[in-house]
Amino acid sequence: MGIENRVALITGSASGIGKKTAFRMAQNGAKVVINDIVADNVEQTVDEFKKEGLAVIGKVADITKKVEVDRMMNETVETLGSLDILVNNAGMERAGALRNLTEADWDITINVNLKGAFLCSQAAHNHMVSQNYGRIINIASRAWLGGAGQAPYSSAKAGVVGLTRVLALELGRKGVTANCVAPGLIHTPLWDDLPEKNKAFLLSKQPTGKLGDVDDIANAVMFLADDQSGYITAQVLYVCGGRSLYSG
Amino acid sequence: MEVVRDKIALLVGACDEVGQAIGVRLAQKGATVIVCDTDYARLSILAEQIRESGGNAEANPVDSTSSVDVKRLVGDVIKQYGKIDILINNADARFGKPVGDASDEEWETGIRTNLNPVFFFCREVIPKMQAQKYGRVINISSLDYIGWPGRSSYSAVKSALFGLTRSLSLETARDGVTVNCVARGDVATSEMSPELAAKIGESLPVKRIGRPYDVARAVGFFASDWSKYVTGQMFFVCGGKSAHFSMSI
Ligand SMILES: NC(=O)c1ccc[n+]([C@@H]2O[C@H](COP(=O)([O-])OP(=O)(O)OC[C@H]3O[C@@H](n4cnc5c(N)ncnc54)[C@H](O)[C@@H]3O)[C@@H](O)[C@H]2O)c1
């Protein structure tokens, strides 16, 4: 029941939302794979988790590179025996007005958020289909609905929603579900660095008047990753304090 | 996992199989469940079942189409327990006819039995939740809201739940109250023949029909502390069927 003894790989999990999600999944009995592009952070995260007595291994890989992704998935299955849960969490944003955005801004944002989710899902689904079981959870964003200054990011996250629906339709018959969690404003270190003026502006558009925390996202991911969530697929679960309804 | 320990839950429309599964699930996770419906005999059996499986439950019959009786019931619960933390509106009477054949009375019955109760309960319970700065409201809708031939009035009522949910969620967002909709897709009940259940299952992306428990688990998430930053949402438990439609995201 739950996620106990399941092998869960969370991309970009040496920081922020991914790290907390990985931690909570490990606490709940999953065997967790920490992935990130920043090797030092992977090592440090694995050490931290091990000190807490949690089952964890680390895999450094750039999810925008097919060879690195394929190697990571194969090594995971070799070491831990299977791959049951994939959380496509690694992401980043280059924001700016249309006229200021560069081709490089577009490419990197699309590559990390969208191509990375595609490559990881493609590599993971082979293992999931062969065992007739899998849970894919893609971290999209409330911002997929569109936001001024967010052309590459909104486009990438909208792509993630479309990808999720395709995965659900293609893999449903093989016991694999695919869903999105769409976070709104979440309290991560990035937030603390914002000027007070920006914080006040963002909060004024928030129906709850509050930020969410990383645990709110971890909870949603664990709900969807559960053994017993097999009848839930192709969905977008917004964890955004009502921001998807209203932008003031 | 998600818990609802020491919470008082009011479950309206408890007697159908989805309602029963929700009651059992919430009680298992630690809530005291007040099960409401029209049929006292069936309610008592359900409450007894929940208690036998180690949970707390009480049967309280109500005519949910009467605002007077809804007010009476909510008053009773507050008097006895001092609060209501979770409200689940599950009353669901399925009906439908080609539009030319539907009488005034059938249209009005649809609204009276499927929509008015949700409004009456929300009106009585939500201000109390706002005052205590905590509440979870879950309205059970149906994927049929999306439009179905011969089901226009049912779809209209189920769509209305979505607008109600969104408006109420914005109204209560700063008060620690969340309001969400769980829309059920195809769910097998004991009345359905196994052949029909299998046929429907085959038509769905996950290749199986849902069970009442699938819906109950999702309700459990929205009723718990795990979902405190989730409000105003329509969440489908439908084996992926919603991916065939455009309105479902
Ligand atoms: N924080 C928020 O408010 C918020 C809101 C909406 C959506 N999200 C989404 O949630 C996810 C996590 O965000 P976060 O705030 O925790 O970010 P974060 O920056 O703290 O963590 C993202 C991690 O991804 C890693 N990463 C980046 N490129 C990579 C690559 N090519 N290969 C492997 N790893 C890579 C980074 O090194 C970093 O450790 C992202 O997808 C983000 O878009 C966040």
Q: Give residues 139 to 178 of B whose Cβ lies within 8 Å of A.
A: 166, 169-170, 173-174
**Ligand 1 atom closest to Cα of residue A217:** 10
**Quick one: closest CA in B to A182, which residue?**
B230
- C-alpha A221 to ligand 1 mean position (Å): 15
Task: Looking at the complex, report in whole angstroms how far the Cα of residue A137 sits from the nearest Cα belonging to chain B.
Answer: 14
pLDDT at A103: 98
Give dist(CA A6, CA A29) in Å, integer: 8
The verdict on residue A42 lying in a domain is: yes
pLDDT at B205: 98
Q: What is the CA radius of gyration of chain A?
A: 17
Which residue puts its alpha carbon closest to atom 23 of ligand 1?
A12
The ipTM (two decimal places) reads 0.95
Give dist(CA B228, CA B223) in Å, integer: 9
Number of domains in chain A: 1
Mutant choice from A20, A28, A213, A232 vs B, greatest count of B C-beta within 10 A: A232
Residue A130 is part of a domain; what is its CATH number? 3.40.50.720
pLDDT at B198: 98
pLDDT at A55: 94
Which residue puts its alpha carbon closest to atom 30 of ligand 1?
A62
Contacts of B207 in chain A (CB under 8 A): 172-173
By the CB < 8 Å criterion, does B106 face chain A?
no
Contacts of A210 in chain B (CB under 8 A): 229
Closest by CA position to B178, among listed A71, A116, A54, A241: A241
Q: Does the annotation mark B40 as catalytic?
A: no
Is B235 in Cβ contact with A209 (below 8 Å)? no
> B8-239: which CATH topology?
Rossmann fold (3.40.50)
DSSP, res B188: -
Q: Which residues of A55-88 are buried (b: 16+ CB within 10 A; e: fewer)?
A: ebbbbbbbbbbeebbbebbeebbeebebbbbbbb
**Ligand 1 atom closest to Cα of residue A93:** 43
pLDDT at A44: 98
pLDDT at B182: 98
By the CB < 8 Å criterion, does B233 face chain A?
yes
The verdict on residue A159 lying in a domain is: yes
Closest by CA position to A219, among listed B235, B249, B5, B3: B3
- Mean pLDDT per 10-residue run, chain B (249 residues)? 87 96 96 96 95 94 97 98 98 86 92 96 98 98 91 92 96 98 96 97 98 97 97 97 79
Instruction: Dump pLDDT digits (tens) for A129-143.
Output: 999 999 999 999 999
Is A212 in Cβ contact with B170 (below 8 Å)? no
Please give the C-alpha separations between residue A34 and each of A9, A27, A130, in angstroms, as whole numbers: 6, 14, 23
List residues of A whose CB lies inside 8 A of any B CB: 2, 28, 161, 165, 168-169, 172-173, 177, 184, 207-210, 212-213, 216, 219-220, 222-223, 226, 228-242, 244-246
Pocket of ligand 1 (CB under 6 A): A 11-12, 14-18, 36-38, 62-64, 89-92, 112, 116, 139, 141, 183, 185-186, 188
pTM for the whole thing?
Answer: 0.97
The verdict on residue A54 lying in a domain is: yes
* Catalytic residue of the set B40, B81, B145, B154: B154
- A77 — phi, psi (to 5°)? -65, -40
pLDDT at A1: 66
Contacts of B173 in chain A (CB under 8 A): 207-209, 241-242
Closest by CA position to A59, among listed A23, A111, A115, A8: A8
Q: Phi/psi zone of residue B83: left (φ > 0), alpha (ψ -120 to 50 degrees), beta? A: beta
Average pLDDT over residues A159-168: 98
Of B170, B174, B210, the CB nearest to A231: B210
Which sign, positive or negative, has the C-alpha torsion B158, B162, B167, B171? positive
- A65's CB contacts (< 8 A; 6+ apart) are A119
CB A42 within 8 A of CB A14: yes
Instruction: Dump pLDDT digits (tens) for A81-91.
Output: 999 999 999 99
Residue span of the structural domain in which A220 resides: 7-239
CB B68 within 8 A of CB B46: no
Please give the C-alpha separations between residue B97 and each of B55, B111, B156, in angstroms, as whole numbers: 41, 15, 13
**Quick one: closest CA in B to A233, which residue?**
B240
Instruction: Dump pLDDT digits (tens) for A90-126.
Output: 999 999 999 999 999 999 999 999 999 999 999 999 9
Is A230 in Cβ contact with B205 (below 8 Å)? no
In the chain, the amino acid numbered B229 is Y
DSSP, res A114: I
Q: For residue A182, what are the β-bridge partners? A: A238
Q: Is pLDDT at A248 greater than 70 in this prediction?
A: no
- C-alpha A168 to ligand 1 mean position (Å): 23
* Helices B67-81 and B116-132, axial angle in degrees (round to 10): 30
- C-alpha A2 to ligand 1 mean position (Å): 25
Q: Is pLDDT at A31 greater than 60 in this prediction?
A: yes
- H helices of chain A, in order, are 16-27, 39-51, 66-80, 103-110, 116-131, 151-171, 189-192, 196-204, 214-225
The verdict on residue A245 lying in a domain is: no
CB B107 within 8 A of CB B97: no
Mean pLDDT of chain A: 97
Of A161, A220, A223, the CB nearest to B249: A161
Instruction: Dump pLDDT digits (tens) for A189-216.
Output: 889 999 999 999 999 999 999 999 999 9
A126 CB neighbour count, 10 Å cutoff: 13
Of A28, A207, A216, the CB nearest to B170: A207
